[in-house]
Structure 1
Amino acid sequence: MMKIKQILLLLLIVPFFCNCSTKDDVNEIFISGTWTVVNFFTTSNWNNTKKAIPEYTSTSDIAQLKSLKLTFNEACSFIGSLTNGTTFDGTWTADGSNRTITFPINIKTSGTLNKMDREFINALQNAKYYKGDSKTLLIGNNDKNSYVQLTHYNY
């Protein structure tokens, strides 16, 4: 009888150790400092990004990508910067249970935008999904066939 009680107790305790939430902590992920663009990617499989194809591969382009930045704040607003130093801002919403993100307001900037700047703005305007953590963040479109990868660079 004692053995049965021990087994039942063990079975009752196991779920507490195995209870893992699939819901992301949105604030921990997004509001963790300034995000810097690593590159833009195309992929046929959002779940296996190791085979994704980077848009920019030259050393000078990759260096220029680092000037594209995004900082989220707890009030669901953000500020970003483009390659020429121009800043833009807007609002964002994210849902950790289904890993969706949107930037619901049209993002407006002043001045002429180069290809990278336009690609960054378009990636945000077309954003639907995200994945990652407080170190690496992927923001993808509705079809999950392209995304922008961001990280926190330590200069």
Structure 2
Amino acid sequence: MIKATTLSLLSIIVFTGCQATGEKHRSSSYVLGDINKRQEAKTINIISITEAKVEIDNKEARKNMALVGGLIGSVAGSFIGHNQGETLTGGALGGIAGATSGLLPSKSVLVDAVTITYSEHNKIYTSTQIGLACEFKPGVALVVSTRTNETRVQPNANCKNN
């Protein structure tokens, strides 16, 4: 019984770390359909960088946790059931309990972002990007647009050099 409880607690601790990071939403991340294609690019003048947070969907982490939780729950339930002579019942109940662990992670998470204020053609604009403030600095930067009205401000600084 102690082994099963330890296994259950360990699985909860391990899987609560499975959260969306926002990496796929960064200005320097692209989907396969956007690579090796001509994209409009222009230069802007960054005026200021302000730290921000962006809420993103955590659906993938919830799905993964339900799947792995179900597997671990089935094994743990079978172990408990085996010790009590009810392997099949224990495995089924453990699997159901483990699968519901997919409900534990929140539906969304906040990730680090920046709001960049920049000038272009004597007008002032802002654009919020997932990333770190140290990746941007005032001055000239490149903006790539893969879709209409999209601003993918490319990092113009390196966090290691700041």
Q: Name the TM-score, length of structure 1 as normaliser.
A: 0.34
Give the greater-gyration-radius structure (CA).
Answer: 2
TM-score by length of 2: 0.32
